[in-house]
Structure 1
Amino acid sequence: MAQLYFYYSAMNAGKSTSLLQSAYNYRERGMRTALFTAALDDRFGKGVVASRIGLKSEAYLFQQDSDLLTQITALHKQSALDCVFIDEAQFLTKQQVKQLTDVVDILNIPVLAYGLRTDFAGETFEGSHYLLAWSDKMIELKTVCHCGRKASFVVRMDAQGNPIKEGEQVDVGGNDKYVSMCRCHFKQLVW
C-alpha cells in the first residue's frame, strides 16, 4: 500500500542528501523513480536536486501552476514508476499536495516529499501546511543550533548578519542568507 511521506526539518539537516540516497536505493534495485524540484530554486541549476555534500541528480521541475497528477500519470504510463520524490516540497500549493495524495491513492505510487516546515518568521509554508495535515507519515530530520540544541527554526539574515523580521515569505538562498536555530535563539532574534 503506497503512502505519502513528509520529511521535514530546518535548513542544513540533509533533506536533499536523504532524498538522493533513497532515490539511489530504488534505482540500484532496478526500480524506476521520478524526482521533482521547485523551478524557483535554481541555485544548483535548473532541474537539479543537489546536496551540500556534492550529490546531485536531474529532476523534473514544478511551478505554482504545475499539474503533478497529470505529469506523474504520463510518466507512469510511459514506464511504471515505483516511487516519486519531491524536493523543496514547502513550495507546493494546496492543490499540488492534494494531487500527490491522488498519486498515492489512485496510482498506488509512494511519494516521498522533503521540505522545510516553517519560514523565517516561524510560519508554515503552504505546501508544508498541507503535507503536515494530509501525509500518512511525517519524519523529522534533525539538525543542530549553534548552542547544541535541536534546530527547528530558520532565521533569515541580512548581509551584515542581522536577523530580518519582515519581508516576502520566499527568498531563495542557502547559508549566505539563513541560519538554523533552536526555538530559544529564534525567539531572541525574531519574536
Structure 2
Amino acid sequence: MAQLYFRYGAMNSGKTIDILKTKHNYEEQFKHVVCLTPVMDTRAGEGIISSRIGLKAEAQIIRPDDTFEDIVSYVIVDGVTPQCVLVDEAQFLSRKNVHELARIVDEYGIPVICYGLKNDFANHLFEGTAELLLFADKIEEIKTICYYPQCNHKAIMNARFIDGHQVTEGEQIMIGDSEYHSVCRRHYFHPPVEG
C-alpha cells in the first residue's frame, strides 16, 4: 500500500544524497521515478536537485498554488505512472501542496517520499513541515552531528549566521548554504565564543 513519507533532518544531514540514492535505486530496477522541488528552491538552479558533494538530478517545479490537476500532470506524463515520487526541500511546500501530494498517494497508489527540514533558524516549523507532520503516514529522522568540533551530540537545530554571528530574527526563507550550520540544542542556545 502506497504511503506519504516525511524524512526530515537538520541541514547537512544528507537529505539530498538520500533522495538521489533512492532515485538511483528505483531506476536501477528499471522503475520510473519523478522528482519534484518547490519553486523557491533555487540554490542549484531552477528545477535542479543538487547535493553538496556534487550529485544532481532534474526535477519538476511545484508552485504553492498548484492544483491537484497540475501536480498530476507533473507526476503522470504521457500516461506513464511512476513507481515513486520524490520531493526535495519539502519544508517549502504549501499546505495545499501537501494535501495534493497526499491525494496522489491515496487516489493513484503512488508512494510519495518528501525530504526536508523540520525547523527554521528561529526554531519555528515551516508550513510544509507542519502539514507533513500532520498528514504523513511515516515520519523518519535523518541524523547528523553538531557543527561544533568538540561536540558529538545530535544536531536538531539549524543556526543562521550573518557576519560570523548567529541570528534568530529575519525572513524565514533565505536560500543559502554557508550561512547555516546544524547544531545541537545546547549550542543553538549557547553558541561557543569564537576567538
State TM-score, norm by structure 2. Answer: 0.92
Q: Deviations over 1:108-161 (max 9, x none)?
A: 000000000000011100000010111010110001102110000001100x21
Q: CA RMSD in A?
A: 1.2
Tell me the distance in 2 between the aligned counterparts of 1:71 and 1:95: 12
Give, in angstroms, the shift of residue 45 of structure 1: 1.5
Give the distance between the partners of 2:127 and 2:174, measured in 1 at CA.
15
> Paired residues, what number?
186
- Give the whole-Å Cα distance in 1 for the aligned partners of 2:17 and 2:69: 27
In the TM superposition, what is the alpha-carbon distance from 1:92 to its structure 2 partner?
A: 0.5
Seq. identity, % = 42
Alpha-carbon offset, residue 72 of structure 1 = 3.9
Q: Per-residue deviation at 1:66?
A: 2.3
Instruction: Tell me the distance in 2 between the aligned counterparts of 1:43 and 1:92.
Output: 16
Deviation of the 1:77 alpha carbon:
5.6
- 5 Å matches for 1:82-101? 82-101=83-102
SS at match of 2:91: helix
- Rounded to whole Å, the distance in 2 between the matches of 1:48 and 1:23 is 14
Gaps of 5+ in 1: none
Is 1:24 aligned with 2:24?
yes
Pick one of 161, 166, 171 that aligns with 1:163. Answer: 166
Helix, strand or coil at the partner of 2:16: helix
Residue 108, structure 1, aligned to residue 109, structure 2: yes
Task: Indicate yes or no: 2:147 matched with 1:149.
Answer: no
**For the Cα contact (< 8 Å) 2:62–2:71, is it kept in 1?**
no
TM-aligned CA distance change 1:62 to 1:72, over 3 Å: closer
> Tell me, what secondary structure is at the counterpart of 1:106?
helix
TM-score by length of 1: 0.93
Greater Cα shift, 4-13 or 69-78: 69-78
Structure 2 unaligned regions, length at least 5: none
Check the 8 A contact 2:34/2:82 in 1, yes or no: yes
- 1:34 maps onto 2:14 in alignment: no
